């Protein structure tokens, strides 16, 4: 029997010493890829017979790689969920789902790369079927002598033998080996003189390989435990699965931390949105560049940005909310609502005095009162009417002083000028009174807007503290809110 071809040489006893170790076998090429023209029917039959073994070898390789990939995935899952019990990993569920998906992609890539060639299938069948390299040698011989890999000639010689010459007895291993000269690795061996003895040998070896291959069961290369299924990776998969059961079944204390952090982020986002709305409202009401409402709007937008970018810095965010709230409250006039009530009463009385209509300006709008004062024509009033108006203005002096100092002074000047009959000075004083009413109304409105913003900051601080489970800070903020409500009640009582 012809020995196995390795490194483009025939491994024959008379060419390779017995003590020399055989080099690692290389898979023989597929005859269909290297032989031009049609193949010998026996070669076609060998290729067809190797097809099921090739599929089973591929399946064996896939199973082996699947076990190794599964061991890696299970090990990664064990590490992931162990770390998830030591630190809050909010992305752990997503990573846990992504690991098997990534493992499947890796397995698919490995499976495509592991598809065996025809020569690899032949080597596997020879090794596990104890065929002594019959199948691989048949493929290698077809590649070495492609001229004899085609169909056998039908012509016969004088003795009725194939035209190729002698029988197998004349083609000893030594004679066949001598038909090939040594060549560097990677080059094609060159046949020499006595080639007539090789062709019948090659064809009979091919027939012998086909017969041996047909006797080999197709389940030879089916996956088996210990062969296709590696023991250590399989044990690693089982051990990892055992460890994963308690890691996934026992409640994780970090889940509460993750839930709290998620609630804080969500609440920070909600409060940032609400604070931005307050800032937009303040910007719309600001009438001047140095308006305190505009400055506060800028600070609120910066605070909202901080809440979105750093929601995890709870203590710093609560401190910033509290500091800004205190800063805003320090700008609020404590007696604003009392001044507002006095201003409303003064505006109502001034409109009625200026128009003579006892039902004028029921709402006590300072802007309406200022317009009524500006439309008042003092020159059309008689001297008695001027004295009567001066007396009514003098009666409102205390209310005007309570509402606004400038308004009180302007009203006193107007009353005195009217009493003296000086309409020109009275007109000037009434104009100053109208402007003082408008300024006082703007200050009241500004204070109310600042108070509303402070309440919004207080509510945001309370909500953030509650999301983090800090009830003490939430109750403290609520207590401060009750103190702030006293101003609103004062406003209602004044009106």
Inform me whether the pLDDT recorded for 21 exceeds 70.
Answer: no
Q: pLDDT digits over 121-148, tens only? A: 999 999 888 898 899 999 999 888 888 8
Give yes or no for a contact between 177 and 12, defined as CB atoms under 8 angstroms apart. yes
Whether the full predicted model's pTM is greater than 0.85, yes or no, is: no
Give yes or no for a contact between 343 and 440, defined as CB atoms under 8 angstroms apart. yes
Q: What is the DSSP string of 26-54?
A: PPPPPHHHHS-SPPPHHHHHHHHHHHHHH
Inform me whether the pLDDT recorded for 489 exceeds 60.
Answer: no
Inform me whether the pLDDT recorded for 492 exceeds 90.
Answer: no
Query: What per-residue confidence (pLDDT) applies to 18?
Result: 33
Q: How far apart are CA 143 and CA 137, in angstroms?
A: 10
Region at 361 (left for phi over 0; alpha for psi -120 to 50; beta for the rest): left
pLDDT-wise least confident of 157-166, 214-223, 374-383, 463-472 = 157-166
Find the mean pLDDT for residues 395-408: 89
Q: What is the DSSP string of 231-253?
A: HHHHHHHHHHHHHHHHHHHSPPT
- Identify which has the larger pLDDT, 255 or 224: 255
Q: pLDDT digits over 345-382, tens only? A: 999 999 988 888 888 899 999 999 999 888 988 888 88
Alpha-carbon Rg of the chain, whole angstroms? 51
Q: pLDDT digits over 146-162, tens only? A: 888 888 775 544 433 44
Query: What per-residue confidence (pLDDT) applies to 39?
Result: 87
Give the residue among 307, 426, 330 at the shortest CA–CA distance from 373: 426
Question: Of 9-23, 226-240, 440-454, where does the model show the most confidence?
Answer: 440-454
Give yes or no for a contact between 440 and 404, defined as CB atoms under 8 angstroms apart. yes
Give the residue carrying structure tokens 């300072």. 366
């Amino acid at each position: 029997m012809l020995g196995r071809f390795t490194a483009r040489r025939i491994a024959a006893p008379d060419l390779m010493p017995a003590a020399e170790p055989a080099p690692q076998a290389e898979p023989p090429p597929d005859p269909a890829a290297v032989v031009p023209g049609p193949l010998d029917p026996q070669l076609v039959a060998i290729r067809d017979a190797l097809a099921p073994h090739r599929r089973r070898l591929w399946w064996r390789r896939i199973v082996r790689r699947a076990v190794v990939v599964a061991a890696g995935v299970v090990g990664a899952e064990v590490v992931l969920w162990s770390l998830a019990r030591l630190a809050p990993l909010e992305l752990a569920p997503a990573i846990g789902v992504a690991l098997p998906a990534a493992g499947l992609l890796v397995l698919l890539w490995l499976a495509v790369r592991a598809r065996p060639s025809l020569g690899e299938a032949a080597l596997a069948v020879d090794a596990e079927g104890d065929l002594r390299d019959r199948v691989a040698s048949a493929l290698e011989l077809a590649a070495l002598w492609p001229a004899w890999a085609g169909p056998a000639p039908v012509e016969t010689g004088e003795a009725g033998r194939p035209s190729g010459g002698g029988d197998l007895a004349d083609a000893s291993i030594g004679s066949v080996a001598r038909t090939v000269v040594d060549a560097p690795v990677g080059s094609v061996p060159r046949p020499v003189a006595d080639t007539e003895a090789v062709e019948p040998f090659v064809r009979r070896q091919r027939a012998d390989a086909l017969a041996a291959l047909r006797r080999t069961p197709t389940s030879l290369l089916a996956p088996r435990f210990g062969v296709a299924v590696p023991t250590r990776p399989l044990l690693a998969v089982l051990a990892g699965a055992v460890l994963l059961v308690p890691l996934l079944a026992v409640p994780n204390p970090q889940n509460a931390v993750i839930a709290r952090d998620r609630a804080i982020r969500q609440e920070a986002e909600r409060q940032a949105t609400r604070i931005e709305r307050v800032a937009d409202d303040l910007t719309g009401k600001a009438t001047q560049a140095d308006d305190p409402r505009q400055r506060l709007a800028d600070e609120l937008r910066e605070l909202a940005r901080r809440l979105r970018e750093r929601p995890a810095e709870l203590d710093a965010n609560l401190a910033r909310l509290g500091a800004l709230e205190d800063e805003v409250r320090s700008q609020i006039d404590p007696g604003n609502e009392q001044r507002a009530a006095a201003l409303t009463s003064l505006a109502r009385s001034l409109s009625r005095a200026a128009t003579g209509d006892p039902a004028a300006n029921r709402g006590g709008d300072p802007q309406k009162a200022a317009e009524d004062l500006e439309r008042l024509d003092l020159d059309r009033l008689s001297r008695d009417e001027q004295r009567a108006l001066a007396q009514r203005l003098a009666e409102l002096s205390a209310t005007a002083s309570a509402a606004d100092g400038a308004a009180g002074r302007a009203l006193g000047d107007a009353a005195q000028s009217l009493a003296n009959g000086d309409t020109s000075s009275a007109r000037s004083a009434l104009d100053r009174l109208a402007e003082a009413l408008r300024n006082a109304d703007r200050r009241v409105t500004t204070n109310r807007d600042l108070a509303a913003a402070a309440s919004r900051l207080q509510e945001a601080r309370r909500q953030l503290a509650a999301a983090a489970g800090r009830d003490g800070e939430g109750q403290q903020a609520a207590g401060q809110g009750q103190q702030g409500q006293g101003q609103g009640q004062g406003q209602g009582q004044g009106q």
